Amino acid sequence: MLEESSLELGLSLKDLFDRLSKEVAEGFLRGEYSWSFSDNAMNFIFGSWSRQAAVIDLPDLTHGIFLAFDAGETSANPEAETTALLKTQLDNGDA
């Protein structure tokens, strides 16, 4: 599914994963997406990558954003935990 989308957009799969992940992260931080929606979206992106793992490495930006939401899954305050981690991820110039 994502392979077809990357071809249609003229992007590598790595670039597509990063663009989707960045949109999820920034949309969550802007308050446009709920934490639950964003976490589910990142789990979908990660699952899509895992089916391609033999072919491509997980991009650093996508991995960092996934880990931010993953950490929120076990936090008493997932929104705050994820927000702090995402701000660090995006502020470090990884975006």
Rounded to whole angstroms, the Cα distance separating 69 from 85 reads: 8
In the prediction, which pLDDT does 38 show?
98
Scanning 51-91, the segments in alpha helix (DSSP H) are 60-72, 78-89
**pTM to 2 decimals?**
0.88
Taking the CA atoms of 36, 40, 38 and 62 in sequence, report the sign of the dihedral they define: positive
Q: What is the mean pLDDT of the segment spanning 57-83?
A: 94
What digits encode the pLDDT tens for the residues 1-34? 777 888 899 999 899 999 999 999 999 999 999 9
**Could you tell me which residue, 20 or 93, shows the higher pLDDT?**
20
In the prediction, which pLDDT does 56 show?
84
Rounded to whole angstroms, the Cα distance separating 10 from 33 reads: 26
In the prediction, which pLDDT does 94 show?
53
For residue 73, pLDDT beyond 60: yes
What digits encode the pLDDT tens for the residues 50-65? 887 777 888 999 999 9
Rounded to whole angstroms, the Cα distance separating 34 from 92 reads: 23
CA angle 11–17–23, rounded 5-degree value: 105
